[in-house]
Structure 1
Amino acid sequence: MYKGGGDLQHYQVDSVKRNTLAQQVMEQIISLLMSGQLMPGDRLPPEMELMEQLDVSRPVVREALSSLETLEVISRRPRGGTFVSEKVGSSPFRAMLAIFINNLPAVIEARMTLELGLVTIAAEKITDEELSQLKETIENIRLHRDDYGAYDKQFHRVIAYSAKNPIVEGMIESLLIAHDKTDSLITFREPELTIQYHEAILEALKKHDPAEAFQKMYDHLKYVRDKILDGQS
């Protein structure tokens, strides 16, 4: 744990030399987490020490820390320093997501893998109250066609948590971070199509049909994947 006033020599960190500097800084910090040299709750060294040890500029360090904070791998306390989030201990998937957050095909496939598994279990377990919540999110998308991202995300959150699996619950918030990443890359919105996909998923869940729920979710996520990757090409 960083105690303050020392240097980073006891951390096995390589200097950063490649082009995507902020990404490389993120990977170095994550590697310390994965190796156990940094633990949830530990304080990170000050920016100046990170700059010197990694041989990068302050803007690069700040960009990397900002990205890690967005991913909830670290948290910054006013006048208190930067700390590894306690959430990382319960959700190591956050660390993996941080490393590959700019690998869009990998992020999208990870999202698809998790959501397709969750929706099949949700089809067996979802309650009438949760079905009503899904219907409400669809109505909100219909009412807020120009800015419905939060309601889209809530639709997927309700399904994920309705699976009621404590082992994967630590992965769900990371899944939603992946949702935010993919959502931010959509250049044009098609609310009617989103509503159609969501309604098809809802109908399958109402029937408690795992196979149909899987297929309808796959149709939706494949559409999202193709839309994003086509836009990046």
Structure 2
Amino acid sequence: MKVGIQLKQIKMESVRRNSLSQQVLDNIVSLLINGDLKPGDKLESELTLMKQFDVSRPVLREALSSLETMDIITRKPREGTFINNKVGADPFQAMLAISINNIPAIIEARMALETGLITLAAEKITELQLEKLKETIHGIQENKDRDYGGYDKEFHRIIAFCANNPIVEGMISSLLLTHEKTNRLILFREPEITIEHHQAIYEALEKRDPIESFNQMYKHLTYVRDKILSGYEKQH
């Protein structure tokens, strides 16, 4: 494991003042893609990174926070910041990190993947997986007045993995990591609608009907997209 890799040795250019946080993030991901940073590597201290990128502490921390949300890095108190070991096995995760602040693009990618995957799930879903889906719906019902985001995320994760396709599993896993980021953009909750949509998706899957499953998932994700983008546009 390389410790405290010197980014200056890789001729890292100082970041311009425009979209600083995103540029810092892009540069770190580029180092990962090029192999200059590898899983398990420890980054330099915040002070050193601030000097190398020529940015302020808040800008650097915003970039690191985005990388942490994407599960690219882990920040350990009193130890430092490390590149996660599993990043190397999931290059899509690193690529997605570049666009983590492009909320509309992330939502569109999620819609494209999930609407396709659910048609396969309708053919392959097991009784046990159907039961687990039902449990997440009950979890939302029992937590309508609290944060039910975990149950919502689990509902979509189960469906994605029902497709039993290792090529796309890494993609959907990475996209679901952005759930927390997009979840914060929702300005108001409508648990009854979420329950209604999830129940309709569940019933379509239970009937093993790929067309109805697609239609219900598309209806649900369109609703989610509109809510998230409404919050996003008010903040930008």
| Fold conserved between structures, TM > 0.5 | yes
Secondary structure class of the residue paired with 1:9? helix
Percent identity for Structure 1 against Structure 2: 62
Deviation at 1:202, TM superposition (A): 0.6
Deviation at 1:67, TM superposition (A): 2.1
CA contact 2:200–2:216 (8 Å) conserved in 1: yes
Structure 1 spans left out of the alignment, 5+ residues: none
Deviation at 1:2, TM superposition (A): 4.7
Superposed CA deviations along residues 99-129 of structure 1, whole A, max 9, x for unmatched, are 1111111010111122112211111111011
Aligned residues: CA RMSD: 1.8
Within-5 A mapping of 1:93-108: 93-108=92-107
Residue of structure 2 equivalent to 1:26: 25
C-alpha distance in structure 1 between counterparts of 2:76 and 2:151, whole Å:
30
Secondary structure class of the residue paired with 1:10? helix
Deviation at 1:34, TM superposition (A): 1.7
Superposed CA deviations along residues 43-96 of structure 1, whole A, max 9, x for unmatched, are 222222211111112232222212211211011234333221122112222212
Aligned length: 232
C-alpha distance in structure 2 between counterparts of 1:8 and 1:140, whole Å:
46
Residue of structure 1 equivalent to 2:207: 207
Residue of structure 1 equivalent to 2:184: 184
Residue of structure 1 equivalent to 2:158: 158
Residue of structure 1 equivalent to 2:168: 168
TM-score (norm 2): 0.91
CA contact 2:69–2:178 (8 Å) conserved in 1: no
Residue of structure 1 equivalent to 2:132: 133
Opposite residue 226 of structure 2, the aligned amino acid is D
Opposite residue 135 of structure 2, the aligned amino acid is E
**Cα distance, 1:204–1:75 mapped onto 2, change above 3 Å:** same
Q: Which moved more, 1:78-87 or 1:111-120?
A: 78-87
Superposed CA deviations along residues 21-40 of structure 1, whole A, max 9, x for unmatched, are 22221111011112221122
**Cα distance, 1:97–1:210 mapped onto 2, change above 3 Å:** same
CA contact 1:74–1:83 (8 Å) conserved in 2: yes
Deviation at 1:164, TM superposition (A): 1.5
CA contact 2:96–2:174 (8 Å) conserved in 1: yes
Deviation at 1:207, TM superposition (A): 1.2
**Cα distance, 1:231–1:61 mapped onto 2, change above 3 Å:** closer
Superposed CA deviations along residues 121-165 of structure 1, whole A, max 9, x for unmatched, are 111111011101111111121111122111111111111122222
CA contact 2:124–2:163 (8 Å) conserved in 1: yes
Deviation at 1:188, TM superposition (A): 0.5
Secondary structure class of the residue paired with 2:101? coil
Structure 2 spans left out of the alignment, 5+ residues: none
**Cα distance, 1:65–1:23 mapped onto 2, change above 3 Å:** same
Opposite residue 64 of structure 1, the aligned amino acid is A
